[in-house]
Structure 1
Amino acid sequence: MIEIRNLSKVYDTKSGTVSAVDSVSLTIQEGEIFGIVGYSGAGKSSLLRCINLLEKPTSGRITVDGKDLTCLKSEDLRQARLKIGMIFQHFYLISQKTVFENVAFSLKAAKVPTAKIKERVEKLLELVGLAEKRDVYPAQLSGGQKQRVAIARALANNPTVLLCDEATSALDPTTTKSILSLLKRINKEFNITIVLITHEMNVVKEICNRMAIMQDGRVIEEGSVYDLFASPQAVLTQEFIASVVSFEIPEVILKSCKGPLVKITFKGDVAGEGIISDTLQKFNVKGNFLHGSIEYIQELPLGIFIMELKGQKEEIARALQYIESREVKVEVLHNGL
């Protein structure tokens, strides 16, 4: 488990002090994949680097697996860091060393016996699908292969936590999907807690259990990925969700709507039920579907539909009341003409 309490990070610059992280408190459960989302300058990278004290917090506490890192002396901190792996956007492989040597580097630094290093590196390269690349150099690898080497290197010392700093931002969509699949597998097989920062909501939707949204150094909203997709509260969260699930209706369509325009959100098992068809049969109301889809988040369906309802006011009100009684969220977007 990672516990972050009242964490702040202030930088001194020529133009004055800059508060990159401002009184952030988070609890990240053991074995989960936690996403930290925000635009550039939101403070998410500074927060991530504070978790393993690559950046020393100005104030606050970081507790990882029961140890308060901010209180540890240098040697104890070095030992604690061995259990926190980290991968970066630009890989940071040593160009003069082979794939094998890059993965072995952190093991040598940890003074692991030579005989065990060979066994460990070969096992890790098999895990990330690069056993046949052990003797090649980084320049001979694709971006996705370089990130796989970086992941193997981060796992070398059997960490309990893996920090991912925009780990897929430099990769194409297909490669990104394969890297996320590898991270999910690592999380599942080894119960490694993964903290992933990104500005891409597709990445969060694909892999994370929970997430926090950062803005101006603060966490403005947090919760399960499913719940935030289903019902985002903060304006910035809504903006991020809209980048993945957009339901904007052109103004010309809005103007042509004679009846109320409603957004209906189905969560969980309810998304698979025929509630709308039941409603249209039960009440003297007609529906005109304008937009809709069912997204799968953490293998749970989330259905969002936008439709125009036509009929008598009283009958429409009864129909909407019936839909809401089935534990479905209804929002009136436009009252019609």
Structure 2
Amino acid sequence: MIEVRNLVKSYHSKKGIVVGVDHVSLKIAKGEIFGIIGYSGAGKSSLLRCLNLLEKPTSGEVYIDQVELTSLNKSELRKARLKIGMIFQHFYLVSSKTVFENVAFALKAARKSKTEITDRVLWLLEIVGLADKKDAFPSQLSGGQKQRVAIARALANEPNVLLCDEATSALDPTTTKAILKLLKKINEDLGLTIVLITHEMEVVKEICDKVAVMQSGRVIEEGTVYEVFANPKEDLTKEFINTILHFGLPDRLIANKKGKIVKIVFKGEVAEESIVSDMLQTFKIRGNILHGKIEYIKEVPLGIFIMEVIGESIEIERALSFIKQRVEVLEVFDDAA
């Protein structure tokens, strides 16, 4: 559906050339919700804007539905962009126009008939839950309602792709959840491919199928959201995940440990089994749970536990071997996670 090949985007500044996107390659499947996460300056927004050529890449290729966008002339690009909707953090609604008129704007630009415009706008406002606000002005709306109008406007010309640039960053947590739920519903009901830029791992966890982590213009880690949460490889990825699955331990617990402190990751159905209980009953050891949590990512359980295992060295080794045979990740460490 979307393929980015060796994409580079450079900018000229007073200090010389700054590389915003540095040789990035990605594949995003049709109907997928793909998250791109990184801190400010990582290059994620520049990458997103290259997907519809709001930013023209310095080099590299962008394919959407097997069409290479950088090879199109202006007329062809305008036509291709009709199938790529985009929403932003700050909504960008026209304050002097009603909700109906804001959504209708793109349809008028596409020269749709008055009947087509009316039918389409009313249908879209029904989808985003704003049918009763069609005659309201942006100043009369909450932040969440404004973003719903922006989503309806982005869907006006029946796009195949929806690009979301920090679409929930200006919203409170409750409204963010509602907007993410709406995006997920649109994805499922309309079969839309969604590319979502964020600096919040909670957003990725909530609705994304896959995620790419960006740092200094590069993609440093990529995979399904579940696998990235279960087994992050890069320090930055671990830092993002730690904002949700925080497992730091007080120094006094480390200083006063009597046995071995281990971190165990249970993936899938194993997270709902009694493996730790079985271990404690099978071997002559004691276990002290220091931290633990089960998260559900795409309804699949992911359990992470930190515990102290106390007993004779040989029994501890036998117990840890028992665990290792049943889980994919077991880490023995002496410092706080």
Q: TM-score, normalised by structure 2?
A: 0.99
Structure 1 match to 2:132: 132
Structure 1 match to 2:38: 38
**1:14-61 deviations in whole A, cap 9, x for unaligned?**
221110000000001100000000000000000000000000000000
Once residues 14 and 101 of structure 1 are traced to their aligned partners in structure 2, the CA distance between those partners, rounded to angstroms, is 42
Once residues 213 and 106 of structure 2 are traced to their aligned partners in structure 1, the CA distance between those partners, rounded to angstroms, is 32
Counting only pairs closer than 5 Å after superposition, residues 184-333 of structure 1 correspond to structure 2 as 184-333=184-333
Q: Shift of the alpha carbon at 1:108?
A: 0.5
The question of whether the paired residues in 2 share the 8 Å contact of 1:260 and 1:335 is answered with no
The question of whether the paired residues in 2 share the 8 Å contact of 1:259 and 1:335 is answered with no
Q: Shift of the alpha carbon at 1:327?
A: 3.0
Q: Is 1:113 aligned to residue 117 of structure 2? A: no
The question of whether the paired residues in 2 share the 8 Å contact of 1:63 and 1:69 is answered with yes
Q: Shift of the alpha carbon at 1:112?
A: 1.1
Structure 2 match to 1:51: 51
One-letter amino acid of the counterpart of residue 28, structure 2: I
Bigger mean CA deviation after superposition, 261-270 or 319-328? 319-328
Structure 1 match to 2:26: 26
Structure 2 match to 1:71: 71
Q: Shift of the alpha carbon at 1:335?
A: 8.9
The question of whether the paired residues in 2 share the 8 Å contact of 1:154 and 1:162 is answered with yes
Once residues 269 and 55 of structure 2 are traced to their aligned partners in structure 1, the CA distance between those partners, rounded to angstroms, is 44
Structure 1 match to 2:14: 14
SS of residue matched to 1:170: coil
Structure 2 match to 1:183: 183
One-letter amino acid of the counterpart of residue 279, structure 2: T
Q: CA RMSD in A?
A: 1.0
The question of whether the paired residues in 2 share the 8 Å contact of 1:7 and 1:21 is answered with yes
Once residues 141 and 260 of structure 2 are traced to their aligned partners in structure 1, the CA distance between those partners, rounded to angstroms, is 56
Once residues 252 and 280 of structure 1 are traced to their aligned partners in structure 2, the CA distance between those partners, rounded to angstroms, is 24
Once residues 66 and 335 of structure 2 are traced to their aligned partners in structure 1, the CA distance between those partners, rounded to angstroms, is 54
Which stretches of structure 1, 4 residues or more, deviate above 6 A after TM superposition?
none
Q: Is 1:162 aligned to residue 162 of structure 2? A: yes
Identity of paired residues, percent?
Answer: 65
Once residues 266 and 245 of structure 2 are traced to their aligned partners in structure 1, the CA distance between those partners, rounded to angstroms, is 14
Once residues 100 and 264 of structure 2 are traced to their aligned partners in structure 1, the CA distance between those partners, rounded to angstroms, is 53
SS of residue matched to 2:240: helix
For the structure 1 residues 335 and 137, does the alpha-carbon distance in structure 2 shift closer, same or farther, using more than 3 Å as the test?
A: closer
Q: Shift of the alpha carbon at 1:124?
A: 0.2
For the structure 1 residues 201 and 335, does the alpha-carbon distance in structure 2 shift closer, same or farther, using more than 3 Å as the test?
A: closer
One-letter amino acid of the counterpart of residue 186, structure 2: I
Stretches of structure 1 that go unaligned for 5 or more consecutive residues are none
Once residues 4 and 168 of structure 1 are traced to their aligned partners in structure 2, the CA distance between those partners, rounded to angstroms, is 25
Once residues 60 and 114 of structure 2 are traced to their aligned partners in structure 1, the CA distance between those partners, rounded to angstroms, is 39
**1:202-228 deviations in whole A, cap 9, x for unaligned?**
000001000000000000000011111
Once residues 149 and 282 of structure 2 are traced to their aligned partners in structure 1, the CA distance between those partners, rounded to angstroms, is 59
Stretches of structure 2 that go unaligned for 5 or more consecutive residues are none
